[in-house]
Chain A
Amino acid sequence: MIPELGYGATVAALALAVWGAVAAAGAARTGRTDLLRSGERAAVGVWVLITACIALMLYAFLTFDFSVRYVAFNTNRGTPFYYRITALWGALEGSIVLWSWLLSIYALIVVGQYRRRQPELYPWVLSVMLGVLAFFLLVMTVPAPPFERLSPIPPDGRGLNPLLEDSGMITHPVALYLGFTGFTVPFAFAVAALIVRRTGEEWITITRRWTIIAWYFLSLGLLIGGWWSYHVLGWGGYWAWDPVENAAFMPWLTATAFLHSVMIQERRHMLKLWNLGLIFLTFGLTLFGTFLTRSGIIGSVHSFTQGSIGVFFLAFLALVLLGSFSLLASRVDRLRAEGVLDSVVSRESMFLLNNLFLVAAAFTVFFGTVFPLLSEAVRGVKVSVGAPFFNLVNIPIFLALLFLMGVGPLIAWRRASAENLKRNFLKPVLAGVVVAAIMRGLGVGNALVLTAMALVVFVAGTISLDLFRAVRTRRRNGDGWAAATLGLLLRQNRRYGGFIVHLGILVIALGVAGSQAWSVQTEVTLQKGQTVDLGGYHVRFDGLEATEESNHAKVTGAFTLSNGRRGETVLLPGRKFYPQEQTPIAAVDYRLGFLEDVYLVLGDFSRDGSQATVKLQINRMVSWLWIGGLVLTLGAALAILPEARRPA
């Protein structure tokens, strides 16, 4: 029953989305309000139908309805209740359902927010959003139907991919997809503004706002993804330059570029063409990312034929890019810059540089990700470029970006005088140099860490200096320090939200540099009672224990951790044996700390429990990534708040 109902709902939603897109476009051309209302009703209908699809799928998961192929392949009778819900988006078909659902919610928000406020742009925006939604519903109908029937009905399902049995799986995909789908809104507004030839102020305000919202969720998704990688995958790292990660990182980079260059447009009415290009590129990259990770093309070019989903995405991507960029080309004459660049030493050129580097970083990630494909297609040679390539190329770019992060926000517009430079940058530069020299004196030899440290102190110095001056000015009105600071943050929330995001990035940068330079690890086989020492820690192997969970068996090792100062802690890393997998999966255990994490992975062990092989890592400053991430998201949230007043 469920497969038929679900398929019916999908097809009906597809038909409604297509009608809505056509009706809204018709309304935009003719001004007929009845058509527009019909388009809006279609948007609501699409949301209702996709919600129904989700409800049906959940019902199928909770009742173990193995007549649905997707359910049978992603759950079994032992799957815990909680993971039967997250299994909904555990694989390709379900993740497309989630994508469409979130997109339909964004469409409803747009209807609610802009139907009265933006009468000119709104019909086109609605049309574009429903058009994109129709594409995803088409994917749900033809190449990746979530409700495909399985016959004969198996007695039990295959089970969820064990790596996905983690609490991060409820937040990570949702945040990531809220980010990905969120970029549809700026895209739709950009297209609408070009069509009706209104590329002025209000378009920019709306687009910027929605880009920050999508950027916020994408950042959150990337961070949770890093955390998941760190605490589930058992290799002790948080970022592997895996194609799946790169797919999410590329639009993040171009969206970041847009959030900066849009300020030049607001202030100086320049870069209009470039900004629109960035919006289109970001949206295109979200589609490209899905294509890359979902078509199976990454394993090898030859797996391209495995499913038709890749062709759908590639065709849609081509349509979107060709359509939007030719629209852009046809409006070029209206997008001329009204201002000019006055000097190389000015905020405008710093922002230009920032954009150049961000887009270059996106390009290098793109290049490294598709290079193996290109090589195989062109030369017939299978190669891989892994983390070393991305690190080598991106580290200089990111260091340059860090430097610009200090200079950009404080340097004068148009043309910076020597006085302006001295006033804003002399002290921070000195602070950076002094701190690096002290660290060098303390025995830090790693040039990269020293450079990163000097830059971080420099940027933090500029931000503090600016904040201090602004607060001091406000204090003249008689406010206390706390009231003055809070008032400033709320009053100029965009500026200071941005600064807080920058501070978060600085903390993350320190975490990355520190963890790369100072983490240590060892691998050893221990007899019961034996101890291994690393980085001032002693880890003693106390024995193994086996337990049976609802859908797997688990062997847990008990290890006592001590470092002579604090008391003893017991770490319990294990290995999980799933009947549907032929080999076990590690369950790491760790003790997180501000400066260092102790991270323990159980490897092989003897059947009688007398010996075990473990990998012990002391990962330094990894916690700074999560702390910096928290600061960054708080800053982004502050920047999203409506502005009280335009800053003077």
Chain B
Amino acid sequence: MSRRGKFVVGGLVIVAAIAYLIWAGVSQSVVYFVTPSELLAAPVASKTYRLGGLVLPGSLKWEPKSLDLSFTLSDGKANVSVKHKGAPPDLFAEGRGAVVEGAWTREGYFKASLILAKHSEEYKAPHDGAEPGYKELIKSLRKESTR
């Protein structure tokens, strides 16, 4: 084989190897993004999904002792109950959007390994009623620390 031929073949082998790496990488790690109604239409247990929806007001339960977090994600048409181990992350709250990564279980809930809370981009003017009650919180903590 000519010298040039060797280089061309060598280069092609490497390019093919990298192409295979990319293909394998995508097929192994691709995660489908679904809404609650899409998930419930055809739930496949123990397959990884990203599930996006609104945290249904009143559904959030947080047990600090056992680190059990549960809530319901909704897209208005369907509701999926989600369980997670760990404290609610920043930007996560009832009535806000959230995306969770995890898998559907045979027991009929979605087991989340990761919560990606969505940052709200809309501007909301701060007004007294909407403040997250932190003034009151500070008062109660102050009392505690001066005691």
- Which residues of A come within 8 Å of B, CB atoms? 73, 154, 158, 234, 341-344, 349, 352-353, 356-357, 360, 363-364, 367-368, 371, 381-386, 388-390, 392-393, 396-397, 523-525, 543-546, 548, 553, 555, 577, 579-586, 603-604, 606-611, 613, 615
What separation, in Å, do the CA atoms of A205 and B86 have in the docked complex?
56
Q: What residues of chain B lie closer than 8 Å to A343, measured between beta carbons? A: 3
CA distance A79 to B45 in the complex (A): 48
- Chain B neighbourhood of A73, CB < 8 A: 123
Contact A608 B140 (CB under 8 A): yes
Q: Are B31 and A384 in contact (CB under 8 A)?
A: yes
Q: Mark B81-108, 1 if CB is under 8 A from A, else 0.
A: 0000111101111001000000000000
Name the residue among B126, B130, B135, B142 with the largest chain A CB count within 10 angstroms.
B126
Q: Count B-side interface residues using an 8 Å CB cutoff.
A: 53
- Inter-subunit contact A385/B21 (CB<8 Å): no
Residue pair B124, A577 in contact (C-beta under 8 Å): no
Chain A residues with CB under 8 Å of B129's CB are: none
Chain B: CB-nearest residue to A342:
B3
- B138–A382 touching, CB < 8 Å: no
In the complex, which of the residues A364, A383, A546, A604 has the most CB atoms of chain B within 10 Å of its own CB atom?
A546
What residues of chain B lie closer than 8 Å to A586, measured between beta carbons?
90
Chain B residues in 8 Å Cβ range of A389: 25-26, 28-30
| Residues of B near any A CB (own CB < 8 A) | 3-4, 6-7, 10-11, 14-15, 18, 21-22, 24-26, 28-34, 50, 62, 64-65, 67, 85-88, 90-93, 96, 117, 120, 123-126, 130-132, 134-135, 137-138, 140-142, 144-145
A604:B64 contact, CB within 8 angstroms: yes
Residues of B with C-beta under 8 A to A393: 21-22, 25
What distance in Å separates the Cβ of B134 from its nearest Cβ neighbour in chain A? 4
For A154, the chain B residues whose CB sits under 8 A away are 125
CA distance A524 to B64 in the complex (A): 8
In the complex, what distance in Å separates the CA atom of A610 from the CA atom of B87?
A: 16
Of B3, B25, B96, B123, which is in contact with the most chain A CB atoms at under 10 Å from its CB?
B25
CB pair A386–B31 under 8 Å, yes or no, is: yes
Residues of B within 8 A of A342 (CB): 3
Which residues on the A side are within 8 Å of B86 (C-beta)? 523, 603, 615
Residues of A within 8 A of B15 (CB): 356, 360
* Chain A neighbourhood of B34, CB < 8 A: 382
How many angstroms between the C-alpha atoms of A579 and B134 in the bound complex? Answer: 9
**Contact in complex: B26, A609 (CB < 8 Å):** no
Contact for B144 among A341, A371, A609, CB less than 8 A: A609
